[in-house]
Amino acid sequence: MHPGIPLGTLKVIMSSPPEVDSDRPVGTDPDEGSAPGASIESGDSALRAMTNDGAFRVVVVRTTDTCQELLRVQHATGTTGQRLAELATGAILVRETMAPDYRLQALLRLADKRTRLVADSYPDGGTRGLISHPDPTRELSIEGGLLEIVRTLYSGDLHRGVVSVPEGGGMSQALMTYLQGSEQVASMLSVACVLEGERVVAAGGYLVQLLPEVGRGPLAIMAERLRDFEDIAPLLIQMNAAPGPLLDELLYGMPFTRLTESPLSWKCRCNTVRVMSSLSTLSKTDLTELVEAGRNIELSCDFCGHNYNVSPSQLVGLLEQS
Ligand SMILES: [Zn+2]
């Protein structure tokens, strides 16, 4: 056991003995059970629709506020911030399309073998993400990277699919390649995040899915229609990424029915209970070593940066249970 050892999504940093009054034991945290900054004020949502000919299912999302908070907590700017925001938006679209009631994770491993972007989307509309990168403000290219999507199936098993980011392609192409190759879903999809310095001006996207029982005829017509919206960024700016107006524009002149709309936001899932249970997976030897060191352990959540302090006496509690 040494400083900086990865522990799931948490990394352990040994800290000096804290001042007495800052030593608030984990168990007495008034926010226990809820994530720190659990959710943010958000005007984001996902809107679903179906074309009246029964050929297409459409999901349109606004993720401006979700991405703003995601980029803020991850200190991600520039192209790195944009790609992370696009991955998160894509994760939401794919979850909404494939399995809205289950969690979905999207991972992008870049060609440099060191950089990894993660988006983690939940059925309650909460999404978080992280970037492991030597410098999150550096220019970033996803070409040559691998996109992996892991989601829970209705059976409870995991579905895992990996595709390469197409040559010359961006995040939208990578996500479409995944849907076609790994899920056999013919789709048209575009995600984008428009930045002005560190401010997210607009973020969002759409996914138009050709339903499997329909022939491929309508696809060509839809593809022609959506040609103007392959890059959704200009429309996102124009419409403040509002899903209703975006949907009207995408399906202009085509009869469709609006279905449900649900809220989206940035949300971390870490809490003290999860921190303690991740520590309880350590071996008895490691735990004993930590207790004997007699210092507080500081754990920080890679997704939101929140710090948790665990005192030696709490570790003794874990040892007694093990
Ligand atoms: Zn967290």
The reported pLDDT for the residue numbered 247 is 97
pLDDT of residue 207: 98
Give the chain's length. 322
pLDDT tens-digit map of 294-305: 888 888 999 999
Task: Give residue 222's identity as a one-letter amino acid code.
Answer: M
What pLDDT is recorded for position 136?
65
Burial of 67 (C-beta count, 10 Å sphere; 0-12/13-18/19+): buried
| Structure-model confidence comparison of residues 18 and 34, the more confident one | 34
pLDDT digits (tens, 9 = 90+) for 57-101: 999 999 999 999 999 999 999 999 999 999 999 999 999 999 899
Question: Structural domains in the chain?
Answer: 5-37+269-321 (3.90.1280.10), 44-266 (3.55.30.10)
CA 53 to centroid of ligand 1, rounded, Å: 44
pLDDT given for residue 289 in this prediction: 86
pLDDT tens digits for 92-126? 999 999 989 999 999 999 998 889 999 999 999 99
Q: How many Å lie between the centroid of ligand 1 and the Cα of residue 57?
A: 33
CA of 45 to the centre of ligand 1 (A): 22
pLDDT value of residue 321: 73
**Residue 34 clears pLDDT 90, i.e. is over it:** no
Separation of CA 269 and ligand 1 centre (Å): 6
Determine the straight-line distance between the first and last CA of the chain, rounded to whole angstroms. 18
For position 198, what pLDDT does the model report?
Answer: 94
Per-residue pLDDT for 4 more than 50? Answer: no
User: If you measure from the C-alpha of residue 272 to the centroid of ligand 1, how many angstroms do you get, rounded to a whole number?
Assistant: 10
Quickly count: other Cβ atoms within 10 Å of residue 112's Cβ. Answer: 13
The C-alpha atoms of residue 230 and residue 224 are separated, in whole angstroms, by 10
Find the 253 Cα to ligand 1 centroid distance in Å.
44
Alpha helices in the chain (DSSP H): 64-74, 78-98, 171-183, 217-225, 233-238, 243-250, 272-279, 284-293, 312-321
Give the pLDDT score at 253. 86
pLDDT category at 223 given cuts 50, 70, 90 is confident
Neighbours of 227 (CB within 10 A): 9
Give just the sign of the alpha carbon dihedral 155, 270, 163, 68.
Answer: positive
* Distance (Å, whole) CA 318 – CA 288: 10
Q: Is the dihedral of CA 13, 14, 18, 24 positive or negative?
A: positive
Nearest to 306 by CA among 32, 83, 2: 32
